[in-house]
Amino acid sequence: MIELYHSQRAMRNMRRAAMQRGVVAILDVGSSKIACLVLRFDGADRGTETEGIGPMAGQAGFRVIGAATTRSRGVRFGEIHAMQETERAIRTAVQAAQKMANIRVDHVIACFSGGDPRSYGLAGAIDLEGHVVTEQDVSRVLSACDVPDYGDGREVLHAQPVNFALDHRSGLGDPRGQMGMRLATDMHMLTVDGIAIQNLAHCVKRCDLELAGVASSSYVSGISALVEDEQELGAACIDMGGGTTGISIFMKKHMIFADSVRMGGDHVTGDISMGLGVPASTAERIKTFYGGVVATGMDDREMIEIGGDTGDWEHDRRTVSRAELIGIMRPRVEEILEEVRARLDAAGFDHLPSQQIVLTGGGSQIPGLDGLASRILGHQVRLGRPLRVHGLPQSVTGPGFASAVGLCLFAAHPQDEWWDFEIPVDRYPARSLKRAVKWFKDNW
Amino acid sequence: MQQIGPRLDPAPSRWSYRMQRLMLTPLYRNLLRVGLPFVIAFGSVTIYMSDDMRREAVVTGITDLRDQFQSRPEFMVSLMAIDGASTSVAEDIREILQLDFPVSSFDLDLEAILTAIRELPAVADARVRVRSGGILQVDVTERVPAVLWRTAQGLEVLDADGMITGPATSREEYATLPLIAGEGADKHVTEALDLVRAAGPLGARMRGLVRMGERRWDVVLDRDQRILLPEDAPVQALERVIALGQVHEMLERDLAVVDMRLAARPTIRMNAAAVEQWHELQATNAGIAGR
């Protein structure tokens, strides 16, 4: 775990360097599209912005100066499947965004939805050496957490302390400087498949860019789609993407659970393609133009030309009623939502004080989805769109860009992670001594 | 319709992507925008000029162009007009300037011409300009001859300020001018002129003024008579002598010198014959008849 600590710290330093240069790129590697935003940080002129709306959620201080989207290639289930193809797609997006921003970008912060994220709740407690909690005590209690065996080949993506308890007082946000005897913490740790991260890093590196941070896409879309009270009181964000559906649960402004369902809009398209016997591109077009999940009597009469280019007149003039299309789409959407329901139940979402559910992502644009979702997931369901940030083009404000916008906020105001604190003193010398001995052994 | 060929790849090639990133680098962009044109311009000029023949050709080309421009008829000066100068002075001016017309007005050094003309003794002041029509206009103010100065070398003509306007060949040439003599006389021409004016009643009897010992004047009359004037207020002394002369006909008598150097004690010196006659008279009259 110490290696990951170092690599994450290195990425944090890279991010700091990027902030100093003032320009960083945001890369959302999704299964259906790859979005790239170029941010310019201008923390100095925070007071000069007079657009009527004040800073929202603290995202003032940066501005989107370049945005580009391209069709994703070589990504399946949010994981990179064909390196070359993905690299080319990333290059397309980055080049277009750079061109729009008219500035060269060297640092990139990326998010992806795949890699089978798994959530762990960690707890740790120590006895304080003095009476006052110091920063060193915080790092000690964080490293005192009993790390579960999360399996070989997996990497920790997020490890965020969500709660501190001092003696019998719990719910502390910042225990430093407080008096007590015993400090305890709860930490949320998210692990993903290490191969997925390495592939992504490799792709980014091949584009001559430096990776300055990695985030889980379900986490960042929760940051942008949930409003402040939802994040505080407890809410779940369902990010319905192309290849995966991400789930993240927020409580007290911290993510306490994240998961993903490996089904998404591409599966709906695939069902349409199979059910109607049309190519995937036609199925995608039919889905976006005529798709829905609730059929009415009107839909029986609305006929859709599904076309074809075989040259056979009968075959090329096929039509299908919208009710039939809905009949194909609905079971798959229901399946996705049921799976989400199962994950939420497993996470104990019903025990939260507030059970708000926010649907976002490109898949949430299916008409009638909120009605269907409220029947499966619960009554408090709404459709979420990403927060407004400065300079965001109109074309990038749809729910499909929730994770890209969330990543902007994440880049500007990252949450404290375990590796943001210093390495505890008692571990440090032993570790380095061992490394020195190992180095001698390796070389002589 | 189905597409026959492969779909066009929207992705940039690796090299075009790198090229674009390179062009977006500020340093590189500035280098291309400023540095490259500078290097090209500087290098091409240096290479072209490194050959002696080409450099010479360029220089002669520039010189030719300049000459061609300067020798256009609009800038040519074809003659010199001298106003306000007598013939001899005009000839002098033409002689010292030595201009061979036509000459371009760019080649005329008007300052030098003006200085040269002003240095002529007969010229008090001058103005020089190139008039339209290609004429070099010289306006000269000549010095006015006021007195004639006789020195050991000969006769000189002075103006009222004592500046020499030129030599005089003979006294007759400037018969109307008063004559002065003596060393340092040219520095007190104004005083001399005042004396001449005061000596008007003497008329043709006055021969001239002599500066004595560079400090005072003598009025020389005919019959070798002299009036010695003091350093201070010589005009009043002369007027006194003239007044005495008119009343007692003193100057008609056989005097040699009227000495006014001491104003309180005017003295006269008689000639030898007069003195003898005076003694004779004293002897015969025994001092009675004179009373």
Cβ neighbours around A5 below 10 Å, total: 16
The predicted pLDDT at position B274 comes to 81
What are the DSSP E strand ranges found in A194-310?
210-216, 235-240, 245-251, 254-261, 303-305
* B20/A208 CB distance under 8 A: no
B26 contacts in chain A (CB < 8 Å): 104
* A92/B25 CB distance under 8 A: no
The count of CB pairs under 8 A between chains A and B is 31
B193-201, long-range: CB < 8 A, 24+ apart:
B193/B146, B193/B147, B193/B160, B194/B235, B195/B219, B195/B229, B195/B234, B195/B235, B195/B238, B196/B147, B198/B235, B198/B238, B198/B239, B198/B242, B199/B238, B199/B242, B201/B242, B201/B246
Cβ neighbours around B177 below 10 Å, total: 18
pLDDT along chain A (444 residues), means of 10: 68 82 91 92 53 44 90 89 91 93 91 90 88 85 84 86 88 84 90 90 90 91 91 92 92 90 93 92 92 90 87 89 94 94 91 90 91 89 89 90 91 78 62 78 80
Pick out chain B residues at pLDDT < 70.
Answer: 1-6, 175, 286-291
Using CA atoms, how far residue A307 sits from A314, A316, B3, in Å, is: 10, 5, 16
Distance from CA of B21 to the nearest CA of A (A): 6
Using CA atoms, how far residue A319 sits from A270, A286, B251, in Å, is: 18, 12, 158
Q: Does B18 touch chain A (CB under 8 A)?
A: yes
* B17/A309 CB distance under 8 A: no
Mutate to test the interface with A, among B13, B17, B23 (most CBs of A within 10 A): B17
* A91/B11 CB distance under 8 A: yes
Residue B125 bridge partners (DSSP): B141
Tell me which H or E stretch contains A74. Answer: none
A92 contacts in chain B (CB < 8 Å): 10-12
* A104/B21 CB distance under 8 A: yes
The predicted pLDDT at position A56 comes to 44
Using CA atoms, how far residue A1 sits from A135, A149, B189, in Å, is: 21, 11, 119
The predicted pLDDT at position A430 comes to 59
* A99/B12 CB distance under 8 A: no
The predicted pLDDT at position A407 comes to 92
Using CA atoms, how far residue B105 sits from B74, B76, B80, B129, B135, in Å, is: 9, 6, 12, 10, 10
* B11/A309 CB distance under 8 A: no
Distance separating alpha carbons of residues A321 and A298, to the nearest angstrom: 10
Shortest CA distance from A308: residue in chain B:
B1
- The first and second tokens of residue A341, run together, are 């329901």
b or e along A384-412 (b: 16 or more beta carbons within 10 Å of the residue's beta carbon)?
Answer: bbbbebbebeeebbebbbbbbbbbbbbbb
* B17/A104 CB distance under 8 A: no
The predicted pLDDT at position A35 comes to 94
Distance separating alpha carbons of residues A364 and A242, to the nearest angstrom: 11
Distance from CA of B18 to the nearest CA of A (A): 8
Residue A409: phi, psi to the nearest 5?
-65, -40
- The first and second tokens of residue A363, run together, are 């898949």
Shortest CA distance from A73: residue in chain B:
B11
Instruction: Write down the domain spans for chain A.
Output: 118-194, 265-331
Tell me which H or E stretch contains A241. Answer: none
Residues 19-48 of B with CB under 8 A from A: 20-21, 24-26
* A95/B12 CB distance under 8 A: yes
* Class (C level, CATH) for A118-194: alpha beta
- Nearest-Å Rg of the Cα atoms of chain B is 44
A309 → closest Cβ in B2, B12, B20: B2
- The first and second tokens of residue B247, run together, are 């009343």
A92 → closest Cβ in B11, B21, B25: B11
A25 contacts in chain B (CB < 8 Å): none
ipTM beyond 0.95?
no
Task: Delineate the domains of chain B, giving CATH numbers in brackets.
Answer: 74-142 (3.10.20.310), 145-285 (3.40.50.11690)
> Are the C-beta atoms of residues A37 and A26 closer than 8 Å to each other?
yes
Q: Does domain A265-331 have CATH number 3.30.420.40?
A: yes
